[in-house]
Amino acid sequence: MESLARQNFVRECEAAINRQINMELEASYAYFAFANYFGQDTVAQPHAAKFFREQSHEEREHAEKLAHYQNLRGGRVAYQDVKKPSKTTFTSLQEAMETALQMEKSVNESLLQLHSLASSHNDPALADFIETEYLHEQVKSIKQFADYVTQLKRNGPDLGEYLFEKLSLKD
């Protein structure tokens, strides 16, 4: 049955939103894995575990917001398999932050493509939604992870990583 709310919302944009929902859920699942890795007794970095758990929640909220928008526009959420994270163990917190930085850049690229698609289909509502709700936040996330990678490189492993975790990731 066709939605009565649907207007100026092409199927291509609907499909792209569904892909973005899946990408956000995959990022959430990856951060969930990061959090559980750093929470293990053999790793014992509780501030890193908490930080990544919060990132996981944030990514899930992004997916939920996109699903709500999809319904608002008269689209339908299409459920897809959420892939297992490619990395679930790390040699260091720096490696985890580098992995997260690359993931955030991939998410940002996907959002930029979605924004471009919306613009090319003359859908200012979707373009504005992506700009307002996602793009600025992605830029801030990329900067945060880039800063963390730089700080971890500067501080070095072992004691440097311990101090970073205690001072930078603490509440």
Annotated binding site for Fe cation: 24, 59, 62, 104, 138
Determine the distance from the C-alpha atom of residue 73 to the mean position of all C-alpha atoms in its chain, rounded to a whole number: 23
Determine the distance from the C-alpha atom of residue 24 to the mean position of all C-alpha atoms in its chain, rounded to a whole number: 5
Determine the distance from the C-alpha atom of residue 107 to the mean position of all C-alpha atoms in its chain, rounded to a whole number: 6
Question: What does the DSSP assignment read for 10-79?
Answer: -HHHHHHHHHHHHHHHHHHHHHHHHHHHHHSTTT--HHHHHHHHHHHHHHHHHHHHHHHHHHHTT-----
Environment class of residue 44 by beta-carbon count within 10 Å: exposed (0-12), middle (13-18) or buried (19+)? exposed
Is 51 in contact with 167 (CB distance < 8 Å)?
Answer: no
Is 115 in contact with 131 (CB distance < 8 Å)?
Answer: yes
